[in-house]
Structure 1
Amino acid sequence: MKTAILIAGPTASGKSALSLRLAADTNGVIINADSMQVYRDLRVITARPSEEDEAKAPHKLYGFMDATEVCSAAFWAERAMAEIEAAWAEGLTPIVVGGTGMYFKVLLDGIAEIPEIPEDIRADVRARCDAEGSEVLHAELRTVDPVTADRLAPGDSQRISRALEVYKATGTPLSVWHKDTRPGPLKPLEEAGGLIKLVIDPPRDVLYDRCNRRFDLMLGEGGLDEVKALMARNLDVSLPVMRALGVPSLMAYLQGEVSLEGAVEDAKMQTRRFAKRQLTWFRNQFGAWDRVSAQLSESQYRDFLNKKIKKLID
């Protein structure tokens, strides 16, 4: 039977290190499921695997897109399935790892086939969100799509704007589109018991400390120069890559708006907040997945490997 390993978890939780251990022990191919690590411009600031780590096992879908491009969940899922199928064809174990929960959801639960949103509608909604605030748009969304409004926080400007755009462009609430979604491409394998699904779930204080220390390491490894080079491209600030953790804060410093110390503290705070949201999301959405700590002892790791993973793969 075909098998695959899915590893989800918040930023700085140790997903990459665990995936490397598993790749060595399962003859695995590591496939990126992080929406920011797809961009080649930001190896350091997005904590992409180093060249040394990439030499230890095959890595796919890392740094394969330009900063000017937008990587939708549907596009990523298509590319990820191609890499999964290629791994199976070579007798290798696909290991899908990352912190973008929606990517995993698309593989398992599918995605609504919503028509392309006209640019004028998208621009109008985004401009209104900037001018009036996401809370105003959230109230409007509640009148046309209360189901979606109920599951979105009033401050979730990106998803609120998206839901309103869909309604304005199609006349159909986003929640209705989601009801008609077909199962994802990995759903049959999940139902057949061929998936190992892991969530890295560290204690919050440990995670926050790792977030802080990792950002300091990023600066020491050239993260500021990376952001400076990105700024030199004069890209549209609405592009996803321009919102990567740390990028807006360091841009503010490079533009003379804040001190370096202030920029670093802001970036660390934003990273901790993001990690907290990820923890909550994974606990709510992936409650049935196996929970593991990235800091497994050697005996714990071997026990898990032999009893859970190799039993399925072998």
Structure 2
Amino acid sequence: MSRLPPAIFLMGPTAAGKTDLAIELAQALPCELISVDSALVYRGMDIGTAKPPSALLEAFPHRLIDIRDPAQSYSAAEFVSDAREAMAEISASGRIPLLVGGTMLYYRALLDGLAEMPPADAQIRAALEAQAEAEGLAALHRQLAEVDPESAARIHPNDPQRLVRALEVYRVSGMSMSEHRARQRAQKAGAGESERSILPYTVAQLSIAPAQRQVLHHRIEQRFVQMVEQGFVEEVETLRERRDLNPEMPSMRAVGYRQVWSYLDGDYARDEMLQRGVAATRQLAKRQLTWLRGWDGIHWLETSARDNLPRALKYLESLSILS
């Protein structure tokens, strides 16, 4: 039986230092980088997404950055297809795919595959969107918690797209998303198919984060303020000038963009925009850490440690990734 090619996942919450460590790894190993970030796929969204600067991207190219216009959508299924293609090309060249980013759903979809769900129903979706408009997203989240508590725990109460989709699946099929996933996992297990065999690689899973939550909160606040000072508001102003964009689009729902858009609409003052942007980013980090703490096989690294590179290399060596 031939040995599976290696791949490295470098995960972690926002502002934890993933990019810096990825560059160190790329300098030490024959790696090529693949971005795992649902916001970095969009062109023209540079400051608010903390996109690596152009000089760094030129020296260390990242695949799957700047591959969509903000008016377009980009799904987890598209990511899986694009990432698998990129990983195959990198492996064929004798190099190691290094996937770095914080969109945990993308990693999970790569590892476990995407569960097949019922098709969309325009009438049911319209009714759910009307309910959200009339009663608020909190009402939809409470409703989801009654029929699918597992999905409700995973989906943020202010995520209209995923809330509507989860309830739509239940209304269309009479089964929750969680039940669909559990049934398909059982079918794969009954067929003797390992969930991990879906991705034909030996995967090393690294995650980096500060040990203290307040340290991460401080880093998030510092970075958000810095992004505003670097022209984040002006970046959103430019996007607002386009007639084909609105704040409900997936791209404009990225953390920070919605808060700046509302500030430009006059919904609140600059200081409140800063507070809301920082709070939303902290909530994102909390959700990312929740995913990661329930994740098997992760090797954790501390953001402020000075020996993360040798620790990571030692871990990779223990998995025979470097042999």
1:275 aligned residue = 285
* 1:54 to 2:46 alignment: no
1:238 aligned residue = 248
The question of whether the paired residues in 2 share the 8 Å contact of 1:24 and 1:57 is answered with no
Q: 1:122 to 1:304 in 2, by over 3 A?
A: same
Counterparts of residues 208-247 of structure 1 (less than 5 Å): 208-234=217-243, 235-247=245-257
The aligned amino acid for 1:207 is: L
C-alpha deviation, 1:146, in angstroms: 4.1
Match of 1:308 among 315, 320, 323: 315
Cα deviations across residues 180-206 of structure 1 (Å, max 9, x unaligned)? 4467999228797x2110111212111
The aligned amino acid for 2:73 is: V
SS at match of 1:292: strand
The aligned amino acid for 1:161 is: V
Q: 1:180 to 1:85 in 2, by over 3 A?
A: farther
The question of whether the paired residues in 1 share the 8 Å contact of 2:71 and 2:249 is answered with yes
Match of 2:206 among 198, 221, 244: 198
Counterparts of residues 257-268 of structure 1 (less than 5 Å): 257-268=267-278
Q: 1:156 to 1:149 in 2, by over 3 A?
A: farther
SS at match of 1:96: strand
C-alpha deviation, 1:35, in angstroms: 0.9
The question of whether the paired residues in 1 share the 8 Å contact of 2:110 and 2:199 is answered with no
The question of whether the paired residues in 2 share the 8 Å contact of 1:28 and 1:57 is answered with no
Q: 1:3 to 1:129 in 2, by over 3 A?
A: same
Number of residue equivalences = 309
Cα deviations across residues 79-98 of structure 1 (Å, max 9, x unaligned)? 11111111001111101111
C-alpha deviation, 1:229, in angstroms: 1.1
What RMSD, in angstroms, separates the aligned Cα atoms of the two structures? 2.6
SS at match of 1:11: coil
Match of 1:187 among 178, 193, 196: 196
Match of 1:108 among 108, 111, 115: 111
1:155 aligned residue = 157
Q: Which runs of 5+ in 1 are unaligned?
A: none
Aligned residues with identical type, % of pairs: 32
SS at match of 1:7: strand
Inter-partner Cα distance in structure 1 for 2:239 and 2:77: 26
The question of whether the paired residues in 2 share the 8 Å contact of 1:189 and 1:195 is answered with no
1:128 aligned residue = 131
Moved more, 74-83 or 215-224: 215-224
The question of whether the paired residues in 2 share the 8 Å contact of 1:129 and 1:157 is answered with no
2:37 aligned residue = 34
C-alpha deviation, 1:124, in angstroms: 2.2
Q: Which runs of 5+ in 2 are unaligned?
A: none
The aligned amino acid for 2:94 is: G
Cα deviations across residues 1-30 of structure 1 (Å, max 9, x unaligned)? 410000111111111111111111112111
* 1:98 to 2:101 alignment: yes
Q: 1:154 to 1:136 in 2, by over 3 A?
A: farther
Counterparts of residues 289-304 of structure 1 (less than 5 Å): 289-297=298-306, 299-304=307-312
TM-score of the superposed pair, with normalisation by structure 2: 0.86
C-alpha deviation, 1:56, in angstroms: 2.3
Inter-partner Cα distance in structure 2 for 1:187 and 1:243: 31
Inter-partner Cα distance in structure 2 for 1:274 and 1:236: 21
The question of whether the paired residues in 2 share the 8 Å contact of 1:110 and 1:185 is answered with no
SS at match of 1:312: coil
The question of whether the paired residues in 1 share the 8 Å contact of 2:111 and 2:198 is answered with no
TM-score of the superposed pair, with normalisation by structure 1: 0.88
Cα deviations across residues 256-283 of structure 1 (Å, max 9, x unaligned)? 3322222122211221222122222211
